Amino acid sequence: MTHAAGSWRRVAFAMFAVGWGANQFSPLLVGYRHELRLSTGVEAGLFAIYAATLIPGLLVGGPVSDRVGRRPAVIPFVVVSPLATTLLMTGGHSLALLAAGRALSGLCSGVVFGSATAWVQELSPDPAVSARRAAIALSAGFASGPAVASVLAQWAPDPLVLPYLPHLVIGLAAIVVICLAPETVTSRRPRYQAAGARGSTRARRRRWPPRAVRSGRFWLAVAPAGPWVFGSLALAFVVVPQEASGPGSVSVGFAGLVTSLTVASGIAVQPLARWMEARHSLAGSVLGLGFAVMAATATAVAVTSASRVGALGCAIAFGLAYGLCLVSGLRECERLADPDEHGAVIACYYALSYVGFGAPYLIAALNGPLGRVGALGVLAIAAALTAVWATTRTGSPGPSAGPPVTTEAAVMAKVS
């Protein structure tokens, strides 16, 4: 099946919109803290609610989209994403509405991120750029949402309502755009078979987890760096603004700046990640983990000096770790996945990556016996050990389980 050049952009825009809606809440937490007098435990709970619905959404949405198609799995949750934002808009004085909005946002994110990533990769004829396209779409939404929300919350009236309006507009536009995206999953047997795959397509579809996720390569090479993808973001979003810049001095604007700078640096480094992955598989993860070591160490130093400039440097380093590890992990999953389990493998990888959002809670748990600097030191050591392990798993990139890039596909890739 040949798809129009550039069709992937429709799906990427929907990912961007849902990513915007998922992350616009983060800098506004400063305002909710004062308005609702939230305790630290309640703040953690609002993030936990998001993760509690996101991970099941990933694990269910990916396999479902492999069976029934990308469109019927993704489009309904692109439609629901603005509804989640509406709940947040009306929840400025209600913890229950905030919790409901966060839960619905997590569910939308889970279903869309995994399924739409596979969809973008399938609509991109050149496997060398497909993982980067999906990563940039997601990262751009993560960066833009908090950037715009924090500016509006800092300087516009009604700071707990107006920051959500841009996402309503973008979310409605995404509904129109995604409805025009072509389907890539058909009920007939796939046009290609993964190298070494055995048994019928239907038999493999009934197995869970997917074949690639049951492989030693996934757990020994991909999995160790997975939690550092969103773990780096979580540390930058939560720990850096609160601790490295001085407790009690954080404004909504500065929190938004840290959030946006983190993701922007993650986007900027993705071409390098793509270049590295074309030469050595998982090389991007090794370098990304190196930046995670640097970021955790620098944050430990910044905690003692309470420097906002230092905090911004820590945010950039965490962002580089995020971008490198994300593209490297997605590219390796694309190589490992059977064509009829593509969405399920991506979903499992994202679910593993989102475990990293527990990093701030690990810091809080270690803070008592070790202190903040000691807790960050433990994370730096853990990242260093993971990087050393990852170096033993790098090598020449193997062939993708997906379709080969034909001459026609190569031309389409240049056009798109």
Note the pLDDT tens digit of each residue in 289-330.
999 999 999 888 887 776 778 888 999 999 999 999 998 998
| Furthest CA-CA distance within the chain | 62
> Average pLDDT over the chain, rounded to whole?
81
Give the pLDDT confidence score for residue 245 in this predicted structure. Answer: 52
Cα atoms in the Cβ-side hemisphere of radius 13 Å centred on 244:
27
Q: Is 409 exposed, middle or buried (0-12, 13-18, 19+ CB in 10 A)?
A: middle
Q: How many CB atoms neighbour CB 304 within 10 A?
A: 12
Q: How many CB atoms neighbour CB 377 within 10 A?
A: 16
Give the CA distances from residue 340 to residues 14, 111, 118, 230, 346, in Å, rounded to whole numbers and listed in that order. 23, 17, 11, 27, 12
Q: Please list the residues that pair with 148 across neighbouring strands.
A: none
Which of 243-252, 308-317, 371-380 shows the lowest per-residue confidence on average (mean pLDDT)? Answer: 243-252
Q: Is residue 407 part of a domain?
A: no
Report residue 413's pLDDT band, with 50, 70 and 90 as the boundaries: very low
Report residue 412's pLDDT band, with 50, 70 and 90 as the boundaries: very low
- Asked if 111 and 72 count as a contact pair (C-beta separation under 8 A), the reply is no
Supply the range of the domain harboring residue 147. Answer: 8-182+217-397
Q: Is residue 405 part of a domain?
A: no
Q: How many CB atoms neighbour CB 38 within 10 A?
A: 17
- Asked if 223 and 351 count as a contact pair (C-beta separation under 8 A), the reply is no
| Residue type (1 letter), 255 | A
- If you average pLDDT over residues 239-254, what whole number do you get? 65
Q: Is residue 189 part of a domain?
A: no
Give CA–CA dist 208/274, Å, rounded: 30
Report residue 415's pLDDT band, with 50, 70 and 90 as the boundaries: very low
> Does residue 398 or residue 150 have the better pLDDT?
150
Nearest by Cα to 232 from 306, 286, 289, 273: 289
Report residue 172's pLDDT band, with 50, 70 and 90 as the boundaries: very high
Give the pLDDT confidence score for residue 112 in this predicted structure. Answer: 93
Give the pLDDT confidence score for residue 199 in this predicted structure. Answer: 43
Give the CA distances from residue 372 to residues 268, 272, 290, 321, in Å, rounded to whole numbers and listed in that order. 30, 33, 21, 21
Give CA–CA dist 154/251, Å, rounded: 8
Give the CA distances from residue 127 to residues 133, 217, 273, 319, in Å, rounded to whole numbers and listed in that order. 10, 19, 14, 24
Give the pLDDT confidence score for residue 127 in this predicted structure. Answer: 63
List, for residues 153-170, the tens digit of each pLDDT value.
Answer: 888 888 889 999 999 999
Q: Say whether pLDDT at 31 is over 90.
A: no
Give the pLDDT confidence score for residue 194 in this predicted structure. Answer: 40
Cα atoms in the Cβ-side hemisphere of radius 13 Å centred on 369:
4
Give CA–CA dist 326/131, Å, rounded: 9
Q: Coil, strand, or helix at residue 286?
A: helix
What is the 3-class SS of 263-305, one letter each residue? HHHHHHCHHHHHHHHHHCECHHHHHHHHHHHHHHHHHHHHHHH
| Residue type (1 letter), 207 | R
Say how far residue 265 (Cα) sits from the centre of its chain. Answer: 14
H-state helical runs in 90-126: 95-123
Report residue 246's pLDDT band, with 50, 70 and 90 as the boundaries: low
Report residue 243's pLDDT band, with 50, 70 and 90 as the boundaries: low
- If you average pLDDT over residues 261-273, what whole number do you get? 88
- Asked if 244 and 306 count as a contact pair (C-beta separation under 8 A), the reply is yes
Q: Say whether pLDDT at 57 is over 80.
A: yes
Give CA–CA dist 216/334, Å, rounded: 16
Q: What are phi and psi of 353, to 5 degrees?
A: -65, -40
Q: Is residue 3 part of a domain?
A: no
List, for residues 325-371, the tens digit of each pLDDT value.
Answer: 998 998 888 888 887 788 788 888 988 988 888 788 788 788 778 88
When computed from its CA atoms, the radius of gyration of the chain, rounded to whole angstroms, is 20
- CATH value at residue 98: 1.20.1250.20
Q: Is residue 36 part of a domain?
A: yes
Q: Is residue 204 part of a domain?
A: no
Q: Say whether pLDDT at 124 is over 60.
A: yes
Q: Extract long-range pairs of 55-58: CB within 8 Å, 24+ residues apart.
A: 55/110, 55/351, 55/354, 56/107, 56/110, 57/106, 57/107, 57/108, 57/109, 57/110, 57/111, 57/114, 58/110, 58/111, 58/113, 58/114, 58/347, 58/348, 58/350, 58/351, 58/354
Q: Is residue 388 part of a domain?
A: yes
Q: Please list the residues that pair with 281 across neighbouring strands.
A: 395
- If you average pLDDT over residues 278-295, what whole number do you get? 91
Q: Is residue 406 part of a domain?
A: no
Domain count, the chain: 1
Token pair for residue 68? 């029934």
- If you average pLDDT over residues 105-127, what whole number do you get? 86
Which percentage of the chain shows pLDDT scores above 70? 85
Give the pLDDT confidence score for residue 157 in this predicted structure. Answer: 86
